[in-house]
Amino acid sequence: MTGNEEIIIDSAMSFSESIEGTNAPLEIVDSLALVDLLYYSFDGLRHQGQIIVNNDLEDDVYEIFALIEKLQFPVGKVIPIVTYQWDDQSSMASNNSSAFNFRVIEGTTKLSLHSFGRAVDINPMQNPVIYPNGFIAPEGAKYSPSNAGTFSVKNPVVQEFINRGWHWGGNFEQPKDYHHFEKP
Protein backbone atom coordinates (compact mmCIF):
# COMPACT_ATOMS: atom_id res chain seq x y z
CA MET A 1 0.00 0.00 0.00
CA THR A 2 1.40 3.37 -0.95
CA GLY A 3 0.85 6.56 0.98
CA ASN A 4 -0.78 8.31 -1.97
CA GLU A 5 -3.17 5.51 -2.86
CA GLU A 6 -6.53 6.87 -3.99
CA ILE A 7 -9.44 6.15 -1.67
CA ILE A 8 -12.87 5.52 -3.19
CA ILE A 9 -15.55 7.26 -1.12
CA ASP A 10 -18.56 4.99 -0.62
CA SER A 11 -20.10 7.22 2.05
CA ALA A 12 -19.36 10.71 3.40
CA MET A 13 -22.54 11.73 5.23
CA SER A 14 -23.03 14.03 8.17
CA PHE A 15 -24.52 12.46 11.29
CA SER A 16 -27.86 14.17 10.66
CA GLU A 17 -27.93 12.81 7.07
CA SER A 18 -27.10 9.31 8.33
CA ILE A 19 -30.09 9.15 10.70
CA GLU A 20 -32.62 11.08 8.59
CA GLY A 21 -36.06 9.50 8.75
CA THR A 22 -35.33 7.03 11.54
CA ASN A 23 -38.20 6.47 13.96
CA ALA A 24 -35.80 5.74 16.82
CA PRO A 25 -36.48 7.64 20.05
CA LEU A 26 -34.20 10.62 20.79
CA GLU A 27 -32.46 8.84 23.69
CA ILE A 28 -31.29 6.13 21.27
CA VAL A 29 -30.22 8.64 18.60
CA ASP A 30 -28.26 10.53 21.26
CA SER A 31 -26.35 7.32 22.10
CA LEU A 32 -25.06 6.81 18.54
CA ALA A 33 -21.84 7.71 16.72
CA LEU A 34 -21.08 7.88 12.99
CA VAL A 35 -17.70 6.23 12.36
CA ASP A 36 -15.59 6.71 9.22
CA LEU A 37 -13.90 3.46 8.17
CA LEU A 38 -11.33 2.37 5.60
CA TYR A 39 -11.39 -1.07 3.97
CA TYR A 40 -10.52 -2.92 0.81
CA SER A 41 -13.50 -3.93 -1.29
CA PHE A 42 -13.83 -6.83 -3.72
CA ASP A 43 -12.32 -4.61 -6.44
CA GLY A 44 -9.00 -4.74 -4.54
CA LEU A 45 -9.10 -0.98 -3.97
CA ARG A 46 -9.23 1.02 -0.75
CA HIS A 47 -12.63 2.48 0.14
CA GLN A 48 -14.02 4.78 2.80
CA GLY A 49 -17.41 4.08 4.27
CA GLN A 50 -19.37 4.92 7.39
CA ILE A 51 -21.19 2.97 10.05
CA ILE A 52 -23.47 4.09 12.89
CA VAL A 53 -22.87 2.34 16.21
CA ASN A 54 -23.52 2.86 19.90
CA ASN A 55 -21.03 5.32 21.41
CA ASP A 56 -19.78 2.58 23.75
CA LEU A 57 -18.77 0.41 20.78
CA GLU A 58 -17.16 3.08 18.59
CA ASP A 59 -13.56 2.11 19.49
CA ASP A 60 -14.22 -1.64 19.06
CA VAL A 61 -15.73 -1.16 15.61
CA TYR A 62 -13.06 1.31 14.47
CA GLU A 63 -10.23 -0.99 15.65
CA ILE A 64 -11.82 -4.13 14.17
CA PHE A 65 -12.19 -2.37 10.81
CA ALA A 66 -8.53 -1.29 11.08
CA LEU A 67 -7.74 -5.02 11.34
CA ILE A 68 -10.06 -5.74 8.38
CA GLU A 69 -8.16 -3.11 6.37
CA LYS A 70 -4.73 -4.41 7.45
CA LEU A 71 -5.69 -7.99 6.48
CA GLN A 72 -7.22 -6.67 3.24
CA PHE A 73 -10.28 -8.78 4.10
CA PRO A 74 -12.68 -7.61 1.37
CA VAL A 75 -15.84 -5.76 2.42
CA GLY A 76 -18.54 -5.00 -0.16
CA LYS A 77 -19.40 -1.54 1.16
CA VAL A 78 -20.21 0.20 4.43
CA ILE A 79 -22.97 2.77 4.03
CA PRO A 80 -25.55 3.90 6.61
CA ILE A 81 -28.81 2.08 5.98
CA VAL A 82 -30.70 5.36 5.48
CA THR A 83 -29.44 4.99 1.88
CA TYR A 84 -31.77 1.98 1.63
CA GLN A 85 -34.74 3.81 3.23
CA TRP A 86 -34.13 1.78 6.44
CA ASP A 87 -34.91 -1.48 4.57
CA ASP A 88 -32.68 -4.25 5.90
CA GLN A 89 -33.51 -6.61 3.01
CA SER A 90 -32.45 -4.05 0.39
CA SER A 91 -29.24 -3.28 2.28
CA MET A 92 -28.36 -6.99 2.56
CA ALA A 93 -29.17 -7.65 -1.12
CA SER A 94 -26.71 -4.85 -1.98
CA ASN A 95 -24.02 -6.58 0.14
CA ASN A 96 -23.92 -3.55 2.41
CA SER A 97 -22.33 -3.81 5.86
CA SER A 98 -24.22 -1.81 8.48
CA ALA A 99 -25.06 -1.50 12.16
CA PHE A 100 -27.75 0.90 13.45
CA ASN A 101 -31.26 0.32 12.12
CA PHE A 102 -34.25 0.87 14.43
CA ARG A 103 -36.19 -2.32 13.71
CA VAL A 104 -37.50 -5.55 15.19
CA ILE A 105 -35.85 -8.96 14.85
CA GLU A 106 -37.14 -10.61 11.66
CA GLY A 107 -40.33 -12.58 12.42
CA THR A 108 -40.77 -11.14 15.94
CA THR A 109 -41.99 -8.01 17.73
CA LYS A 110 -38.75 -7.71 19.77
CA LEU A 111 -36.36 -4.84 19.01
CA SER A 112 -33.11 -5.98 17.41
CA LEU A 113 -29.77 -4.98 18.93
CA HIS A 114 -29.35 -3.09 15.62
CA SER A 115 -31.97 -0.70 17.07
CA PHE A 116 -29.42 0.40 19.67
CA GLY A 117 -26.34 0.33 17.41
CA ARG A 118 -25.11 -2.75 19.27
CA ALA A 119 -25.02 -5.13 16.28
CA VAL A 120 -22.94 -5.08 13.10
CA ASP A 121 -23.60 -7.00 9.87
CA ILE A 122 -20.69 -7.53 7.45
CA ASN A 123 -20.88 -8.87 3.87
CA PRO A 124 -24.36 -10.45 3.96
CA MET A 125 -23.99 -11.94 0.45
CA GLN A 126 -20.93 -13.94 1.53
CA ASN A 127 -22.21 -14.49 5.09
CA PRO A 128 -25.98 -15.05 4.87
CA VAL A 129 -28.55 -16.00 7.46
CA ILE A 130 -29.41 -19.69 7.11
CA TYR A 131 -32.68 -20.71 8.74
CA PRO A 132 -33.44 -24.25 10.02
CA ASN A 133 -35.83 -24.82 7.09
CA GLY A 134 -32.99 -24.11 4.63
CA PHE A 135 -34.18 -20.60 3.68
CA ILE A 136 -31.23 -18.28 3.02
CA ALA A 137 -31.26 -14.48 3.27
CA PRO A 138 -30.47 -12.39 1.39
CA GLU A 139 -31.77 -14.08 -1.74
CA GLY A 140 -28.96 -15.35 -3.94
CA ALA A 141 -26.41 -15.42 -1.11
CA LYS A 142 -24.19 -18.45 -0.68
CA TYR A 143 -22.12 -19.45 2.35
CA SER A 144 -18.79 -20.90 1.32
CA PRO A 145 -16.15 -20.31 4.04
CA SER A 146 -13.26 -20.66 1.57
CA ASN A 147 -14.46 -17.65 -0.47
CA ALA A 148 -13.02 -14.15 0.02
CA GLY A 149 -15.01 -11.97 2.41
CA THR A 150 -16.54 -14.96 4.17
CA PHE A 151 -16.33 -15.61 7.92
CA SER A 152 -15.57 -18.87 9.67
CA VAL A 153 -14.88 -19.59 13.32
CA LYS A 154 -11.10 -19.37 12.82
CA ASN A 155 -11.19 -16.11 10.83
CA PRO A 156 -9.07 -13.47 12.62
CA VAL A 157 -11.87 -10.88 12.30
CA VAL A 158 -14.35 -13.25 14.00
CA GLN A 159 -11.75 -13.97 16.68
CA GLU A 160 -11.15 -10.25 17.27
CA PHE A 161 -14.87 -9.61 17.76
CA ILE A 162 -15.10 -12.57 20.18
CA ASN A 163 -11.97 -11.46 22.08
CA ARG A 164 -13.68 -8.10 22.64
CA GLY A 165 -16.79 -9.75 24.11
CA TRP A 166 -18.99 -9.75 21.00
CA HIS A 167 -21.17 -12.69 19.97
CA TRP A 168 -20.95 -14.02 16.40
CA GLY A 169 -24.13 -15.17 14.64
CA GLY A 170 -22.24 -18.10 13.11
CA ASN A 171 -22.12 -19.55 16.64
CA PHE A 172 -25.88 -19.13 17.16
CA GLU A 173 -27.90 -22.34 17.53
CA GLN A 174 -30.58 -21.24 15.00
CA PRO A 175 -30.64 -19.49 12.67
CA LYS A 176 -27.00 -19.33 11.64
CA ASP A 177 -26.43 -15.61 11.06
CA TYR A 178 -22.93 -15.52 9.59
CA HIS A 179 -22.79 -11.77 8.89
CA HIS A 180 -24.00 -10.72 12.36
CA PHE A 181 -21.96 -9.61 15.38
CA GLU A 182 -23.55 -8.21 18.54
CA LYS A 183 -22.48 -6.93 21.93
CA PRO A 184 -25.41 -6.77 24.37
DSSP string, 31-47: TEEEEEEEEE-TTSSEE
R_g of the chain, CA atoms, integer Å: 15
126-152: pLDDT as tens digits: 999 999 999 999 999 999 999 999 999
In a domain, 1, yes or no: no
In a domain, 3, yes or no: no
In a domain, 45, yes or no: yes
Domain count, the chain: 1
106-116: pLDDT as tens digits: 889 999 999 99
In a domain, 139, yes or no: yes
Q: Average pLDDT over the chain, rounded to whole?
A: 96
**pLDDT computed for residue 132 by the predictor:** 94
**pLDDT computed for residue 5 by the predictor:** 78
Q: pTM to 2 decimals?
A: 0.95
Strands 96-97 and 77-78: parallel
**138: containing domain:** 8-182
**Burial status of residue 126 (CB atoms within 10 A of its CB: 0-12, 13-18, 19 or more):** buried
23-60: pLDDT as tens digits: 999 999 999 999 999 999 999 999 999 999 999 999 99
